[in-house]
Structure 1
Amino acid sequence: MNLAETGTRTASSPTQAIPVAAARGIEAWHVPSPVVPMIAIAFNFEGGAAQDPEGKAGTAQMLARLLDEGAGDLGSDAFQEALAARAIELHFHAGPDSVGGSLKMLVKHADEAIRLLSLAVCEPRLDPVAIERVRSQMIASLRYQQNDPGVMASRCYFREAFPGHPYSRPSSGTTESLAAITRDDLLAMHKALIGRGGLKVAVVGAVEADGAAAMLDQAFGRLPEKDPLKPVPATHIHDLGRRIVVDLDVPQSVIRFGLGGVAWRDPDFIPAYVLNHILGGGAFTSRLFQEVREKRGLAYSVGTSLTSHRGVAMTWGYTATKNERVVEALDVIGEEINRLIADGPSDDELQKAKDYLTGSYALSFDTSTKIANQLVQIAFEGLGMDYIARRNDMVASVTQDDIRRATGRTFANGKMLVVAAGRPVGF
């Protein structure tokens, strides 16, 4: 089948995603969108940096960066030239629990784009020259980051929050661990992670369902099943209530803080998500933004987000302020958390949060690429194909009782693990 001839003439919304009957058990969702003659594909393989071998942190990320550095009969330069000649966008990335990627192309170049994607995932060359180039780039980046307070604070936070756990290791590795990674390690990681088992795919754009199925068969059909991954142990944030300094000679400290969280698959995730919006996720309207920035001028930016990994969920926060005002800023943050624990939000505050979260959700789907990325993440989390249709109703139905339950599960007694990179006074 010529993939460039599979365009559709019927438009659909992301709530009308349909399963694709791809061969060999590949789980995929499809949204036809004929407005622009383009196709976007997003995909995730189960397993990421948490699968890195002991002492070789950064293996999964190095592999992701090498997948488009030559594949099949094409060396690195030839592969990149083949992409550029047809304006094909192909990217790979690695996170704690997955290696994934995205592909975007014009319909008329679909055949070549899918061929290159198939080569990248099925036959990466992992040439020694490319390995050394990527290794050098990653090490140079790490050395540059040694004086970045934000990077240093985040690395310290995860190291102290999850001691001995795979999440304690930096996904980008260390200079020592990157130097230790061999080509055999990369081949073993490819075998462990890049297979049809646990693969989730979304296809959005000017292509019919049978055309999408043909694409997926050609792109991923040659992949083998893979052996079960090492299980990622469940964990929790250690040393809540502790404050840690990463000593850097800078006039402003960068702060990272965390409390408990609720996983995306958990029934209490939506109430926790609304609660987080009220505390620090609501940009200009959140309590932390109003109290820390607007009323006191302690920081330019401050906020929180819910982070959900396979082995842990947490409420993750950030800000930065003058060394002399770090303690004051943290006191204000702690006071707002304790106010929510004691009193919860007002009814008006809760309603405004729900109105914003339901009204803004459509902005997550304003391009084919965004739709594909959202769908593949929903599939990866096992939330069901109807999640997009259900999500706003779930947000709108959150009650004060739901918020109180989520507050108990996330904030508990209000203690935080805090890392400040700088020279905070009185910390």
Structure 2
Amino acid sequence: MNKFTCAVLLLLISGLQGCLVFAGAEPPRLQSLAELEEQPAVARALNIHGWKSPAGGKVLFIRTPELPMFDLHVSFPAGSALDGRHPGLAAATFSLLNEGVPGKDLAAITETFDGLGAKYDMNIDQDQVSFSLRSLAVSENSDPALQLFTQILGEPLLTNSALGHVKKELAAIIKNQQQDPEAQSAHAMNDLLMPGHPYAQPVFGTETSVAAITRDQVQAFHRQAYTAADAQITLVGDLTMEQAQAMSVQVFAALPPGSRQVPVPPVARHPGDAPSRHIERSLNQTHILLGQLGVSRQHADYVALTVGHQIFGGQKLSSRLMTQLREKRGLTYTVQLKTTLRKGGGTAIIQLKTSPQFSDGVVKLVQSMYRDYLQTGPTQEELDDALRHLRSTAALTSASNAQILGRLVNINQFDLPLDLDFSVEQAQGLTVEQVKAAMNRHFDPEQWSVVTVGPTVEQQPLPLPISDAAQRMCRAEPEIVAS
């Protein structure tokens, strides 16, 4: 069976799983989309199994037998926070891993995975590096795919010629980020919120620091950071417990035992006024970030803060920021308050783009809205809607292996209780006063650091809000219509 036949079979199986057959009667029909909100979404019963290797590495596994495939995710705390005096060292080591293993270069590695119908991916951030493999579960596909996957982790060649190639790639990434207003603003915000902390360094280093990285440094970094002691394995798919355990043993065996890395120091809060920064760029829109330090994922207030900020700045059109800035004033297409989680602490970042002549007014409006929000807290209706949305989302995000894997990786990384719905259930008992109190404990309306990237222009008053925003999303005059 070739990879194309396998792909067709997977599509057919997936399609059949999504079909409901109604015998002897017409299928029920929805009279209103509101009926979907009224029906409780039911999550799949998914049991989490966990164990550790003798070296200390951790494994979490969920069996999902519906499709003959599996997803394997392996991570190490080997992100850019470990760079120290050599910014870009973690990224260079990470990028070299799939450049060559014994008997195969990058092209051969890619060709092998493609020939097996397997998908391989890798990612790096400040805290960690991660590698994922998706494969059919039958041994003729999974065995060679897993063998190559473990070679990438444990037996990379890390040659000088490949390092030269990687340095050029990193230099190109760095140059692109220097021209990307979103990357510029994000790096500036990290620098304002976490000055002097490893998280404030760019993940891919600088052109100067990358050029100075040597093969000896890369080899030493790989030996120290890619160990069985620090490996976290997450598995989801059509595997028995014995097969999952055997896979984890194979991954651990490919790595040196090593010892646990020293944890990244927590981010310290700096007293005084929140700093701001403007980056002058000739752009059609000004990119705006407002940021504050948040809490760690393990903090007792994390869930309450997540719910409170979802109401204020979530992706739904009904969030307070979207209602006021987009629906009523037409100042932006989208605005969102995002929480970034790191081992050393989290951040809360409000992100949007607007016309340059309104940038100052938008910042003041957002700050004023958050000040009012802290004083009043969410309404009971807003809280009920947010909790209902959380329940529905939890059920929907347990539909595929990839979605389950993402949630399980989060549990693995942050040492959370072995229950996919733990946070959702914890949120259901929240009250308006608890959400309000949690936000006031950790956030200050006067402590938003602000980063703007765009042109300096004369500022204009913000447009007044319209009253019928729910009915009119277009700000054009009534006589201006499409023909």
Q: What TM-score, normalized to structure 1?
A: 0.92
Partner of 1:183 in structure 2? Answer: 215
Match of 2:319 among 268, 277, 286: 286
- Per the TM alignment, residue 260 of structure 1 is displaced from its structure 2 partner at its CA by 3.1
Q: Does 1:89 align with 2:119?
A: yes
Q: Which amino acid aligns with 1:71?
A: V
- Per the TM alignment, residue 392 of structure 1 is displaced from its structure 2 partner at its CA by 2.0
Q: Distance in 1 between matches of 2:341 and 2:379?
A: 27
Partner of 1:3 in structure 2? Answer: none
Partner of 1:7 in structure 2? Answer: none
- Per the TM alignment, residue 361 of structure 1 is displaced from its structure 2 partner at its CA by 1.6
Q: Distance in 2 between matches of 1:293 and 1:245?
A: 23
- Per the TM alignment, residue 241 of structure 1 is displaced from its structure 2 partner at its CA by 3.2
Q: Distance in 1 between matches of 2:399 and 2:96?
A: 30
- Per the TM alignment, residue 420 of structure 1 is displaced from its structure 2 partner at its CA by 0.3
Residue 163 to residue 258, structure 1, CA distance change in 2 (3 Å): same
CA contact (8 A) 1:255 1:319 kept: yes
Q: Secondary structure at the match of 2:408?
A: helix
Partner of 1:154 in structure 2? Answer: 186
Match of 1:325 among 313, 336, 358: 358
Partner of 1:417 in structure 2? Answer: 449
Partner of 2:295 in structure 1? Answer: 262
Q: For residues 284-326 of structure 1, what are the alpha-carbon distances to aligned partners after superposition, in whole Å with 9 as ceiling and x for unaligned?
A: 1211111111111111111111122122222112111111100
Residue segments in structure 1 that go unaligned for 5+ positions in a row: 1-11
Partner of 2:169 in structure 1? Answer: 137
Q: Does 1:52 align with 2:75?
A: no
Q: Secondary structure at the match of 1:284?
A: coil
Partner of 2:97 in structure 1? Answer: 67
Q: For residues 226-249 of structure 1, what are the alpha-carbon distances to aligned partners after superposition, in whole Å with 9 as ceiling and x for unaligned?
A: 234244222245565332101112
Q: Secondary structure at the match of 1:16?
A: coil
Q: Distance in 2 between matches of 1:74 and 1:129?
A: 14
Q: For residues 322-343 of structure 1, what are the alpha-carbon distances to aligned partners after superposition, in whole Å with 9 as ceiling and x for unaligned?
A: 1110011112211111111111
- Per the TM alignment, residue 23 of structure 1 is displaced from its structure 2 partner at its CA by 6.0
Q: Secondary structure at the match of 1:190?
A: helix
> Superposed, which structure 2 residues align to 1:340-351 within 5 Å?
340-351=373-384
CA contact (8 A) 2:48 2:60 kept: yes
Partner of 1:4 in structure 2? Answer: none
Match of 1:193 among 201, 225, 245: 225
Q: Which amino acid aligns with 1:416?
A: W
Q: What TM-score, normalized to structure 2?
A: 0.81
Partner of 1:80 in structure 2? Answer: 110
Residue segments in structure 2 that go unaligned for 5+ positions in a row: 1-42, 460-483
Partner of 2:143 in structure 1? Answer: 111
Q: Which has the higher helix share?
A: 1
Aligned residues between the structures? 415
CA contact (8 A) 1:99 1:193 kept: no
Partner of 1:43 in structure 2? Answer: 74
Q: Which is bigger in relative contact order (C-alpha 8 A, separation at least 6)? A: 1
CA contact (8 A) 1:121 1:220 kept: no
Q: Which amino acid aligns with 1:135?
A: K
Q: Does 1:163 align with 2:195?
A: yes
Partner of 2:337 in structure 1? Answer: 304
Q: Which amino acid aligns with 2:411?
A: I
Q: Distance in 2 between matches of 1:368 and 1:39?
A: 8
Q: Does 1:389 align with 2:421?
A: yes
Q: Distance in 1 between matches of 2:234 and 2:421?
A: 17
Q: Secondary structure at the match of 1:385?
A: coil
- Per the TM alignment, residue 405 of structure 1 is displaced from its structure 2 partner at its CA by 2.2
Q: Does 1:338 align with 2:371?
A: yes
Q: Distance in 1 between matches of 2:176 and 2:188?
A: 17
Q: Which amino acid aligns with 1:19?
A: G
- Per the TM alignment, residue 160 of structure 1 is displaced from its structure 2 partner at its CA by 2.4
CA contact (8 A) 2:87 2:210 kept: yes
Q: Which amino acid aligns with 1:333?
A: V
CA contact (8 A) 1:49 1:59 kept: yes
Match of 2:251 among 214, 219, 223: 219
Q: Which amino acid aligns with 2:128?
A: S
Q: Distance in 2 between matches of 1:97 and 1:26?
A: 17
Partner of 2:131 in structure 1? Answer: 101
Q: Which amino acid aligns with 1:250?
A: L
**Larger C-alpha radius of gyration, 1 or 2?**
2
Q: For residues 106-127 of structure 1, what are the alpha-carbon distances to aligned partners after superposition, in whole Å with 9 as ceiling and x for unaligned?
A: 1121101110111011111112
Runs of 4+ in 1 over 4 A off after TM superposition: 20-25, 237-240
Q: Distance in 2 between matches of 1:14 and 1:177?
A: 49
Q: Which amino acid aligns with 2:413?
A: F
CA contact (8 A) 1:40 1:105 kept: yes
Q: Which amino acid aligns with 1:224?
A: P
Q: For residues 186-243 of structure 1, what are the alpha-carbon distances to aligned partners after superposition, in whole Å with 9 as ceiling and x for unaligned?
A: 1122122111123221111111010111111112223223234244222245565332
CA contact (8 A) 1:65 1:134 kept: yes
> Superposed, which structure 2 residues align to 1:348-427 within 5 Å?
348-386=381-419, 388-425=420-457
Q: Secondary structure at the match of 2:397?
A: helix
CA contact (8 A) 1:256 1:418 kept: yes
Q: Which amino acid aligns with 1:112?
A: P
Q: For residues 373-398 of structure 1, what are the alpha-carbon distances to aligned partners after superposition, in whole Å with 9 as ceiling and x for unaligned?
A: 32122111011212x13222111111
Match of 1:34 among 62, 65, 73: 65
Q: Distance in 2 between matches of 1:321 and 1:237?
A: 29
Q: Distance in 2 between matches of 1:280 and 1:214?
A: 44
